[in-house]
Amino acid sequence: MKLVIPQNYKSALSLKETEKAIKMVKDFFESNLASELKLRRVTAPLFVPRGTGINDDLNGTERPVSFEVKDMDGTVAEIVHSLAKWKRMMLADYGIANSYGIYTDMNALRPDEELDNIHSIYVDQWDWEKILLPEERSLDYLKTIVRRIFAVIKRTEFIVYENYPEIVPILPEEIHFIHAEELLERYPDLGPKEREYEIAKENGAVFIIGIGADLANGKPHDGRAPDYDDWSSETKNGYRGLNGDIVVWNPVLKIAFELSSMGIRVDDKALIRQLDIQGKSERKELLFHKRLLAGEYPESVGGGIGQSRLCMYFLRKAHIGEVQASMWPGQMHNHCVKSGIILM
């Protein structure tokens, strides 16, 4: 059982207050994100057909929940892991104008997740995708988008404080940027999670660039599928990667806490290169990949922002089960109850 009980932990909010605060946080953040990035809300699927390449493969090892559809001759559908690729298809199919985008409430099931304080079978996030102009395909533009998202995070932190003064703002004024390669150079004897711990503790909020490509030690900072984020293009500083993760310091659990994964999406060259790197060139024959290589999709930037993660962070909760309803091992549930952690 992977469970951390913070010493002398007591929730700042009652269960009733927590439910009200969750709605406030979600409503405020969603509307502000939409206006900040010029995003239109769209309705999204819970499941997609197997064998089309539309589902997110995450690290390539997680099993999607699947089922046969009786009235469709046994067609197999998969519960989404995320909508990383589906969104880009919708940018094209909905005819979204340049510099605008879409967002949606994404609900997913990840049964292979290792359950602990911050990981659940149930995943809820805002998935967003925005048209990228050719001249914007750069790390500088990606940083601009990160800063705008961080500004929304900061505004939400202030609204929580206005309504619940006992929850004092702690985020820094600016988010810090560092490439995963630089992070490795700074902490060569630490693993990826330990490196994230050190940089998040030092800066409060950080965007770690270049997730997916092998670093100087021959290993990636973290896994990334080959067919949505561009993690293999070389940038002006000689490093690789046009993607990254927003990570903040969690004061309750005292850990590095990922809130968002995002990046500039693959073009045809990056897709072929990354499929080759991961030995998955056969995916070029799947629906999503064939349409991308045929030039049917616009250039885009996008990502996912964890809804429960944000609520857990802003409301200073010790367990993600305090802000979402899911399933937990009996031993974990009992230990939480004894420790004053009320799981929904």
Reported as a single tens digit per residue, the pLDDT across 176-225 is: 999 999 999 999 999 999 999 999 999 999 999 999 999 999 999 998 88
Catalytic residue among 129, 258, 267, 322: 258
Question: Average pLDDT of the chain?
Answer: 92
Strand order in the sheet with 300-306: 39-41, 101-109, 122-131, 300-306, 255-264, 243-250, 205-209, 176-179
Q: What is the Cα–Cα distance from 92 to 139, expressed in whole angstroms? A: 24
CA 260 distance to own-chain centroid? 4
Whether residue 60 is predicted with pLDDT greater than 70 in this model: the reply is: no
Which has the higher per-residue pLDDT, 64 or 291? Answer: 291
Q: Both tokens of residue 159?
A: 């609204």
Helix (H) or strand (E) holding 272: helix 268-277
Q: What is the Cα–Cα distance from 105 to 40, expressed in whole angstroms? A: 12
Report DSSP state, residue 240.
B
Helix (H) or strand (E) holding 207: strand 205-209
Whether residue 245 is predicted with pLDDT greater than 80 in this model: the reply is: yes
Nearest to 326 by CA among 123, 125, 127, 126: 123
Q: What is the Cα–Cα distance from 109 to 124, expressed in whole angstroms? A: 9
Catalytic residue among 56, 78, 227, 230: 56
Catalytic residue among 110, 224, 240, 283: 110
Nearest to 90 by CA among 126, 37, 53, 54: 54
Q: Are 315 and 160 in contact (CB under 8 A)?
A: yes
Catalytic residue among 261, 300, 307, 324: 261
Contacts of 21 (CB under 8 A, 6+ apart): 13, 160, 163, 164, 311, 314, 315
Q: Are 130 and 264 in contact (CB under 8 A)?
A: no
Per the annotation, the verdict on 261 as an active-site residue is: yes
Q: What is the Cα–Cα distance from 67 to 49, expressed in whole angstroms? A: 10
Q: ∠91-303-33 over CA atoms, to 5°? A: 85
Domains of the chain listed by start with CATH number = 15-338 (3.30.930.10)
Residue-wise pLDDT for 299-329, tens only, equals: 999 999 999 999 999 999 999 999 999 989 8
Q: Both tokens of residue 236?
A: 């002006």
Q: Both tokens of residue 158?
A: 């202030």
Whether residue 81 is predicted with pLDDT greater than 90 in this model: the reply is: no
Which has the higher per-residue pLDDT, 54 or 332? Answer: 332
Contacts of 6 (CB under 8 A, 6+ apart): 252, 253, 254, 318
Catalytic residue among 11, 82, 120, 125: 125
Residue reference for tokens 């390539």: 60
Give the confidence band of 85 by pLDDT, cuts at 50, 70, 90. Answer: confident
Q: Evaluate the CA torsion angle 225, 263, 304, 311 in order and state its sign.
A: positive
pLDDT of res. 58: 64
Whether residue 170 is predicted with pLDDT greater than 70 in this model: the reply is: yes
Q: Identity (one letter) of the amino acid at 299?
A: E
**Helices 15-37 & 307-314 angle (0-180, nearest 10):** 120
Q: ∠18-19-20 over CA atoms, to 5°? A: 90
pLDDT of res. 54: 81
pLDDT of res. 1: 64
Catalytic residue among 227, 245, 267, 322: 245
Q: Identity (one letter) of the amino acid at 132?
A: L
Per the annotation, the verdict on 56 as an active-site residue is: yes
Please compute the mean of the pLDDT values over residues 79-97 and round it to a whole number.
89
